[in-house]
Amino acid sequence: MKLLMHMCCGPCSCYPLKKLRTDGIEPTGYFFNPNIHPYKEWEERLQNARKFAELSEMDFIADEAYSLRDFLKKALPAEGMRKGRCQMCYAWRLEQTAKYASEHAFDAFTSTLFYSIYQQHELMRAVAEDFAASYGVSFYYEDFRIGWQDGIDLSKEMDLYRQSYCGCVFSEEERYSRSLRKLQRKENKEKKRLRLMA
């Protein structure tokens, strides 16, 4: 099977590639991530994805456009609803992967996003299946989360850069802003209190 594997970054690619090769599938890596900011972070993740591909001797294709402005145009209307913003982000990356796979004679596509324990797995799966149908190419589904620790160990052995936030400027703020985290804790406490009263 000729498989295009969308890569969100190097570390998240470690387990999926290992598993696919165990199953006799040799994928081509595809880096397309307009959601990563700021520029130096995007560049670092791109370089690490390339480093991973070279060390693993895997074919690799990268879309090298840095798309902060386009991302903001799409994300700002959805900001405030994490689900809405992330849904847009999954859809953008998975649609482009399905489109690329279809236009370049791949049999199927998948994504290392299905390795992450932090993403909305079932939502991404539904989105990927929709685009597979739209572009006439198969979606290769596998729940790579099972290899979470294995992937971490492999990425450390390969000395890959391991990022500390998801990718967009909003996720960077959510990761580091003390006031935002305090507010979120307060909101969660209030939700819990209302649930107990119901």
Give the interface with ligand SF4 as residue ranges (CB under 6 A): 35, 85-86, 89, 166-168, 170-171
The least CB distance from residue 18 to ligand SF4, in Å, is: 24
Closer Cβ to ligand SF4, 106 or 170, answer by number: 170
Tell me the C-alpha distance between 99 and 87, whole Å. 18
Rounded to the nearest 10 degrees, how much is the dihedral formed by the CA atoms of 170, 173, 178, 180? Answer: -20
Least gap, CB of 41 to ligand SF4 (angstroms): 11
DSSP state of 168: S
- Pick 119 or 155: Cβ nearer ligand SF4: 119
Closer residue to ligand SF4 in complex, CB, 5/89: 89
The closest alpha carbon to 37, from 89, 110, 82, 100, belongs to 89
If the CB atoms of residues 25 and 78 are measured against ligand SF4, the closer one turns out to be 78
CB of 82 to ligand SF4, least distance (A): 7
Please report how close the Cβ of residue 183 comes to ligand SF4 at its closest, in angstroms. Answer: 17
Nearer to ligand SF4 by Cβ, of 60 and 90: the residue is 90
The distance of closest approach from Cβ of residue 65 to ligand SF4 in the complex, given in angstroms and rounded to an integer, is 16
DSSP H helices in the chain: 14-22, 39-56, 68-75, 82-103, 121-135, 148-157, 169-176, 178-197
